Amino acid sequence: MYKEIIIKDITEMNEFALKVSKEIFPGFILCLEGDLGAGKTTFTKFLGLGMGFTDNINSPTFTILKIYEGELNLNHMDVYRLNGIGADYDLEEYIYSDDVCVIEWYKNIIESIPEERLVIEIEIIDETKRLLKIEGVGKYEKIVQKISN
Ligand SMILES: Nc1ncnc2c1ncn2[C@@H]1O[C@H](COP(=O)(O)OP(=O)(O)O)[C@@H](O)[C@H]1O
Ligand SMILES: [Mg+2]
């Protein structure tokens, strides 16, 4: 299932992330793609708020993985620096788990990512406007439908 939606500003991004947070289940895999400054981390912050995390979620670029512990753990990864290594066996423990995983620059470790996943690619249209390309495989197909309207 593939859908595209336009987000006109950061408030709409917040609303969208809240909608996504309602679809979360243990083992949820969410892959984010998009240029620097597109809004991957901003989206994740809003998603975290939707999951009940009040701690400030910020860019994990220099740590690769940050874990927020809650009813469901949120594993926030930014694998930008793992520049196309294909697989990362250390991270797989966190990916194949009951935690919720959000992975920025997921293509860099594509071989470690299950095929059943939700992918959101964020394209910058202008300063505040974004095009979201949303793709879901398997159990994520109906989620694409729900979050895109
Ligand atoms: N509609 C929007 N959605 C997300 N971020 C937005 C939007 N409009 C403006 N921004 C700004 O764009 C920047 C996105 O940065 P960030 O989330 O760190 O991007 P990335 O993680 O993709 O590099 C932030 O400064 C944010 O305030
Ligand atoms: Mg980021």
| Domain assignment of residue 142, yes or no | no
pLDDT tier, 60 (very low <50, low <70, confident <90, very high otherwise):
low
Q: Indicate if the pLDDT at residue 58 is higher than 90.
A: no
Domain range enclosing 95: 26-100+122-137
| Domain assignment of residue 35, yes or no | yes
Q: Stretch 11-28: mean pLDDT, rounded?
A: 98
Residue nearest to atom 25 of ligand 1 (CA): 37
pLDDT at position 80 is 93
Higher model confidence: residue 84 or residue 26?
26
Angle at 83 between CA 82 and CA 87, to 5 degrees: 60
Which sign, positive or negative, has the C-alpha torsion 103, 108, 113, 116?
A: positive
Q: Indicate if the pLDDT at residue 72 is higher than 80.
A: yes
Q: Of the candidates 17, 82, 78, 83, which has an alpha carbon nearest to the alpha carbon of residue 51?
A: 17
Q: Of the candidates 25, 28, 32, which has an alpha carbon nearest to the alpha carbon of residue 13?
A: 32
The answer to whether the CB of 30 falls within 8 A of the CB of 20 is yes
Q: Indicate if the pLDDT at residue 24 is higher than 70.
A: yes
Residue-averaged pLDDT of the chain: 95
Question: What's the structural domain count of the chain?
Answer: 1
CATH code where residue 36 lies: 3.40.50.300
* Ligand 1 binding residues, C-beta < 6 A: 7, 9-10, 13, 34, 36-42, 59, 104, 128, 130
Higher model confidence: residue 146 or residue 59?
146
Ligand 1 atom index nearest CA of 38: 22
The helix (H) or strand (E) run that includes residue 77 is strand 74-78
User: pTM (2 decimals)?
Assistant: 0.96
Residue nearest to atom 8 of ligand 1 (CA): 128
| Domain assignment of residue 1, yes or no | no
| Domain assignment of residue 108, yes or no | no
| Domain assignment of residue 115, yes or no | no
Tens-digit pLDDT profile for residues 102-148? 999 999 999 999 999 999 999 999 999 999 999 999 999 999 999 99
